[in-house]
Amino acid sequence: MMATSIPWIILFAPLVAAGLILIFGKHSKPLSAGLAIAAAGICCVLSWWQFGQPDATTPNQFYWIHIPDLFSVPMGVTIDPLSKLMLVLVNTIAPIVFVYSLGYMAHEEGYWRYFAGLSLFLFSMLGIVMADNFLMMFIFWELVGVSSYILIGHYFWRDSAANASKQAFLVNRIGDFGFMLGILMLWLVTGTVVFNGIFEKIPLLESQGVYLTIACVLVFCGTIGKSAQLPLHVWLPNSMEGPTPVSSLLHAATMVAAGVYMLARFFPVLLVVPVAREVIAWVGGITCLVAALMATQQDDIKRILAYSTISQLGYMVLGVGVALTADIPMFHLYTHAFFKCLLFLCAGSVIVGMHHEQNIWKMGALKNKMPFTFICTIFGALALSGAGFGPIGFSGFYSKDLIIVWAVQNAPILGWIAVVTAGLTAFYTFRLLFVVFLGGPRSDAAKHATESPAVMVIPLMLLAIPAMAAGWPFVERIFFHVEEPRHVPHLVHLVLFALFLAGTGLAWVLYRRAEKDPISIPLFANRFYIDNGYAWLVKTFQDGLASLSGWADRWVVDLLVVQAPSKLTWVCGYVLRFLQLGNIQAYAFFFGAGVVGLLYLLIAR
């Protein structure tokens, strides 16, 4: 009894915290933060406890909607290696970010709103992780979307933040359109939305051919939206309008990974649909290259990291497409969560030290003023760029190289794209590091920057450890069973190491002492003009069509359907006026005739 209710406590503790903050938190900053951190702490402890427990499927069966024989949506939790891993991951990073927020948000408005949003987010994310059926996952999927809307729009009085939060929600909804349709299509064939029920019907699904492929690609649309893959990636860089801890937890470490997690959950079906996996692999591969190219020319510290996140998510999606077990992409998801969270928190520390300046060309020489942040950033950068050779390296080295070798084996073109991207990753990561921390100070703020308070620096150090060590084989074996494909050309590892050195070296040469960016590629800086393309599309098509409809409704539908008959009635009335005899008997006659006629209609048939 006790053991089966633990997952529910983990799930609902943050929701209770969010509700209490909403009701009581307005008047007390410590209460808001305390409630949120307490809930996250409980989740953390219980998740680690749960990690040691045996697997269990749906220990507590409860129906959200139940129409016997036709349609039922249970609310059940799945406890299997996949969800246990995610529980531990999310609930370890979340408390660290929550505590860090104490320092980062100390002087900000809307403290209660912020912590309520974070708690709501945690609740939603845990719901996605533990859902045992598609519809429950979809429910929490949308809730993650709304908590992200709340948090991105935290500074809602700024136009940029207001637009970004709206855009994030809408772009996600477009992805969810496909997701829901995919769920509907799978349900129509299998008659269930429960994951295990669908897996049992895989032979039946296989016989559906193209139908199944379309359904899987539609489900993947959900990932495209949530995990910011091309072409729905535009919201993620804009979401950097939110407070930095939010960017760190939601838009880098956990929430955006939900799309990959969903694919991993759905993996048994994907395995039998090669065409869908090919689509997935191509989307992932192209995203990882294009986003890395965009990242090389950004000037905002958070945006560089945002494009880097898109690129890394691209790796994970590529992994889903090419690997034979879901553990391969999940391994990268797990290491990425630590080092990207670390990098964002470092960026937050820099931003606070710089009095909310985010342009890297206004920074410089921060290595002496912010030594702890500097060292932690180095750890993050090494992990992100996959530093390592032979058996030893930082966490990203193990997980990213694994995806790359699988890709090289199963989809060579994409594999070599991924290899090249690894070099780009090293380049843009160290570009950021060198510009921000080396060289000379490029503004007054950089001259007077100070190290952040302990409440912010300690979380950085805590995260630096897994950023380095999370991928070490003996750590990895606790969580995963990953293996390399059989025939990997040794060349791949050599090329990857060479590219790492080349990328880092190029960044060293170009940016160590640069006063402004020595290279300028407008195509990358302007993000391949995709954002402008969308703006044009929305303005021309959506708004154009809407205006046209608005016009039609006023002048066609209204005029033809209402005004015309009413004018006709008026004409009839005008004609009938000649029947107005002004004579009581006549009216009585007409009235009587009408009544008789009606009665005749009713009775005498």
Vertex 219, ends 221 and 171: CA angle to 5°? 30
Q: Of residues 449-488, which lie at the interface with another protein (CB under 8 A)?
A: none
Q: Whole-angstrom Cα distance, residue 426 to residue 441?
A: 23
138 binds another protein, rule: CB under 8 A: yes
Q: Which stretch binds another protein (CB under 8 A): 171-179, 402-410, 450-458, 511-519?
A: 171-179
Of 226, 239, 243, the closest CA to residue 160 belongs to 239
Binds another protein by CB under 8 A, chosen from 543, 568, 591, 594: 543
Q: Which stretch binds another protein (CB under 8 A): 226-234, 277-285, 343-351, 556-564?
A: 556-564
140 binds another protein, rule: CB under 8 A: yes
- Residue 246: CB partners within 8 Å, gap ≥ 6? 117, 118, 151, 152, 154
Q: What are phi and psi of 200, to 5 degrees?
A: -65, -25
Q: Which letter does DSSP use for residue 453 in this model?
A: P
CB of 459 to another protein, least distance (A): 30
188 binds another protein, rule: CB under 8 A: yes
Nearer to another protein, 355 or 554 (CB): 554
Side chain identity at 281, as an amino acid letter? Answer: A
Residues in the chain: 605
Nearer to another protein, 5 or 547 (CB): 547
Of 167, 317, 312, the closest CA to residue 252 belongs to 312
**Is residue 330 within 8 Å of residue 82, measured between CB atoms?**
yes
Binds another protein by CB under 8 A, chosen from 29, 41, 142, 438: 142
Nearer to another protein, 156 or 361 (CB): 156
601 binds another protein, rule: CB under 8 A: yes
Q: Whole-angstrom Cα distance, residue 353 to residue 397?
A: 30
Site string for another protein, 65-104 (x = CB under 8 A): xxx--xx---------------------------------
> How many other CB atoms are found less than 10 A from the CB of residue 348?
28
# chain residues binding another protein, by CB under 8 A:
56
Nearer to another protein, 19 or 453 (CB): 19
Torsion of CA 135, 138, 140, 145, to 10 degrees: -160
595 binds another protein, rule: CB under 8 A: no
Pairing relationship of beta strands 56-57 and 78-79 according to DSSP bridges: antiparallel
N-to-C CA span, the chain = 70
Q: Which letter does DSSP use for residue 105 in this model?
A: T
Q: Which stretch binds another protein (CB under 8 A): 354-362, 375-383, 470-478, 558-566?
A: 558-566
- Rounded to the nearest 5 percent, the helix, strand and coil shares of the chain are 75, 5, 20
Nearer to another protein, 484 or 558 (CB): 558
173 binds another protein, rule: CB under 8 A: yes
Binds another protein by CB under 8 A, chosen from 24, 49, 64, 389: 64
Site string for another protein, 354-393 (x = CB under 8 A): ----------------------------------------
Look at residue 595 and give its three-state secondary structure: helix
Q: Which stretch binds another protein (CB under 8 A): 322-330, 458-466, 474-482, 555-563?
A: 555-563
Report the chain's C-alpha Rg in angstroms.
29
CB of 10 to another protein, least distance (A): 18
- Based on the number of CB atoms within 10 Å of its own CB, is 66 exposed (0-12), middle (13-18) or buried (19 or more)? exposed
Residues binding another protein (CB under 8 A): 63-67, 70-71, 135, 138-140, 142-143, 146, 153, 156-159, 161-163, 165-166, 169-170, 173-174, 176-177, 180-181, 184, 187-188, 542-543, 545-550, 552-553, 557-558, 561-562, 565-566, 569, 601-603, 605
